[in-house]
Amino acid sequence: MPRHIKVAAAQMGPNNEGTPREEIVERMLVLLESAARDGVELIVYPEMALTTYFPKKIRRDFDQFFETEVPPKALEPLLRRAAEARIAVHVGFCEKADGTYFNSALLTGRDGRLLGTFRKIHLPGTKAADGFAQVYEPYYFAHGDTGYRVWDCAGARVGIAICQDRRYPESYRALALQGAEIILIGYNTPISALALDLNDLCMRAGAYANACFVVGVAKAGVEDGVELIGGSSVINPLGQIVARASTSGDELIAARIDLDQMTPVRKRWNFLGRRQPQHYGTLLQPVTEKEPNR
């Protein structure tokens, strides 16, 4: 029996500082209603969907950007409407748990039930200016402690990575080895000369090397003076982009994906089954390179 799922990347334009969460959620609801009309079964919102991308500078008044409830109270209208429309939801947000700060994402099922959360593992930038970093996530966040997780969602095995995680091949492989068929990746990435090309490169490579689908969804546009790259996309198991955002604002892109498309790709290449992990021991050696200014 064919296994088709309609997925959507809900790209968001800028969330400028001072914008109330209620106003941001109203925009998210507009995208959700469009998804409902289009028969979408899984909608994916970006990293830090409820706030501005504040780690672009170092500041002390950051507690205001974090949620202490999971799901965040501000998302209640969105998640309630999604459950009514039978749409599973991924949303990135900033989480404060027992005094520790995380860059997190949640996943709900089509019935509205919280399936779980993932906390970002790889943090870009440094704790202090070093002349190279564009962002300062280690100043704000702890490295995620959830590990890579996969859930049954909307008829598929779904895994999550966040932003910088997408640049590490280990992220895709760890999820694929747990049976992930679709990997959801939210991001907020400042523009630079090659930023969009590198974004495409790592997500397409992750999809191809693990014969799975990837849904990458961005915050876009000029947010508090910093331009974000956008470029939300849906990528198939051959690393091909099958849907892409064309604007720098709020935009829904949807694709009906055939999960059975993975079968011939995996049978032909069998990247997971032909691994030789007895030769990969160096991958588990402790990290010796220290971060600057620490």
Q: What is the pLDDT of residue 129?
A: 82
Position of tokens 């790889």?
122
Residue 283 — pLDDT band, cuts 50, 70, 90?
Answer: very high
Mean pLDDT for 268-277 is 95
Closest-CA residue to 233 (of 249, 218, 212, 250): 218
Query: Taking the CB of residue 134, how many other CB atoms lie within 10 A of it?
Result: 14
DSSP codes of every residue in 137-197 = HHHH-PPP-S---EEEETTEEEEEEEGGGGG-HHHHHHHHTTT-SEEEEEE--B--TTHHH
Residue 132: band (very low, low, confident or very high) from pLDDT cuts 50, 70, 90 = confident
Superfamily of segment(s) 4-284: Carbon-nitrogen hydrolase (3.60.110.10)
Active site residue: 41, 120, 181, 223, which one?
120
pLDDT band at 163 (very low <50, low <70, confident <90, very high): very high
What is the rounded average pLDDT of the residues 219-234? 97
Known catalytic residue at 202: no
* pLDDT confidence of residue 5: 97
The confidence score (pLDDT) of residue 128 equals 86
Q: DSSP strand E in the chain: where?
A: 4-11, 42-44, 88-97, 100-108, 114-119, 150-153, 156-162, 182-187, 213-218, 220-223, 226-229, 233-235, 241-244, 251-258
> What pLDDT was estimated at residue 94?
98
Global pTM reads: 0.96
In angstroms, rounded to a whole number, what is the distance separating the alpha carbons of residues 108 and 116? 7
Averaged pLDDT, 23-35: 98
Cross-strand pairs, 10: 252
Query: What residue has token string 């970006």?
Result: 46
pLDDT band at residue 291 under the 50/70/90 scheme: low
Return the structure tokens found at 287: 């990290």
Mean pLDDT value of segment 48-56 = 97
> Of the residues 41, 95, 137, 163, which is catalytic?
163
- Is 6 a known active-site residue? no
Q: Give pLDDT, residue 288.
A: 82
Taking phi first (over 0 means left), then psi (-120 to 50 degrees means alpha), and beta for anything else, what does residue 231 get? left
Average pLDDT over the chain, rounded to whole?
96
Chain centroid to Cα 219, Å, comes to: 11
Beta bridge partners of 228: 190, 221
pLDDT at site 92? 98
Would you state the pLDDT for residue 133? 74
What string of H, E and C letters represents the secondary structure of 130-142?
CCCCCCEHHHHCC
Model pLDDT, residue 271: 95
Is residue 23 over pLDDT 60? yes
pLDDT of 292 above 90? no
Contact indicator for 13, 31 with CB cutoff of 8 Å: no
Residue ranges per domain, the chain?
4-284
Say what the pLDDT of residue 1 is: 67
pLDDT (average), residues 192-209: 97
At residue 155, the pLDDT reads: 97
Q: What pLDDT shows up at residue 289?
A: 76
In which band, very low, low, confident or very high, does the pLDDT at 181 lie, cut at 50, 70 and 90?
very high
Neighbours of 101 (CB within 10 A): 18
Say if residue 294's pLDDT is above 90.
no
**Coil, strand, or helix at residue 32?**
helix
120 is catalytic: yes
- Catalytic position from the list 47, 67, 223, 251: 47
30 token code pair: 């507009």
The reported pLDDT for the residue numbered 293 is: 54
